[in-house]
Amino acid sequence: MNYKYTRFSDQSNFILTDFNCASFDQRLGTGDYYKIIWAKEQDIMIGIDGYHIILKKDHILFCTPLNMLRLEPYTKGAISYIFNREFYCIRDHDQEVSCNGFLFMGSSTPPIVKLTTKERKSFALLFDFFEEEFETKDHIQGEMLRVLLKRLLIKSVRLLKKVMPEPEIKQSNMDVIRKFNLLVEEYFREKHKVSDYAALLNKSPKSLSNLFLKYNNNNKSPLKVINERIILEAKRLLRFSDKTSKQIAFELGYTESTHFYKFFKKHMGVSVKTYKSQNF
């Protein structure tokens, strides 16, 4: 199964695949594509930004265009919804689904949603609707697919909120966490301190840290989120670009490359040079 909707006037693309083809991998590893992967029938192995995870059966993974994914061709038991910003812009439509900075935030640990038996039936029914709509070729096909995608995203946001430490988390606190994630994504190359982001949010560094301590189910402090984002980008550039380590250090906001080298070794346990040699 490999459905694809394309509108050439604006280069919008939306793909639904079960990986039963040899060419799907190019859309997972490159390009401006969001990826939603559902281990529908069995556990699957996925490579994300150079490391591997087992996506358990009935779990759904959400990745941004920044995440470099690798699956073996003809991987069985999984399906993926793949779309670009031209088809559905997460940022522009944030008020509709509230998933920007929540489901999609570019972190080193993309969120995973676990489906219960009841939820699995609901997502399976939605999948059937997607298949039916991909097979219906008319002038409103694109809009119908967007409606279904919005439903998928909204349902996923609701499920992810259920596993937050406190079910009654205030929407205002949720918005602060989401905005922080979005700001890190925008400024991590130039702002490395919690105080930088606290100022942008009109919060004190202490109140921001306390908010994460109370509500962040990944047990991550604001500083850890910032550091992980810097490390993730460093790893991507070291693995997938031809830039020198000094160029990468400068791109990530380090005026002194030695400071970047110390930071990298502290968090990765190996030097930049060793990491690069191990991954080529």
Shared-domain flag, residues 103 and 184: no
What is the mean pLDDT of the segment spanning 258-262?
Answer: 95
Among 124, 139, 162, residue at a domain's last position = 162
Q: What pLDDT, on a 0 to 100 scale, did the predictor assign at position 218?
A: 62
Q: What pLDDT, on a 0 to 100 scale, did the predictor assign at position 70?
A: 83
Among 134, 162, 190, residue at a domain's last position = 162
Shared-domain flag, residues 18 and 156: yes
Q: Which domain holds residue 7?
A: 2-162
Shared-domain flag, residues 157 and 211: no
Shared-domain flag, residues 12 and 67: yes
Q: Is the pLDDT of residue 237 over 80?
A: yes
Shared-domain flag, residues 107 and 215: no
Shared-domain flag, residues 99 and 206: no
Contact (CB, 8 A) for 52 and 61: no
Shared-domain flag, residues 22 and 115: yes
Domain count, the chain: 2
| Alpha carbon distance 209, 203 (integer Å) | 10
Among 117, 141, 162, residue at a domain's last position = 162
Contact (CB, 8 A) for 78 and 19: yes
Shared-domain flag, residues 141 and 248: no
* Closest C-alpha to 246, from 238, 266, 188: 238
Q: Is the pLDDT of residue 107 over 60?
A: no
pTM > 0.85: yes or no: no
Q: Is the pLDDT of residue 106 over 90?
A: no
Q: What pLDDT, on a 0 to 100 scale, did the predictor assign at position 97?
A: 67
Residue with tokens 């935030």: 105
Q: Is the pLDDT of residue 230 over 80?
A: yes
Shared-domain flag, residues 238 and 271: yes
pLDDT in tens, 117-138: 999 999 999 999 999 999 998 9
Shared-domain flag, residues 128 and 185: no
* Closest C-alpha to 83, from 16, 154, 150: 16
CATH number at 264 reads: 1.10.10.60
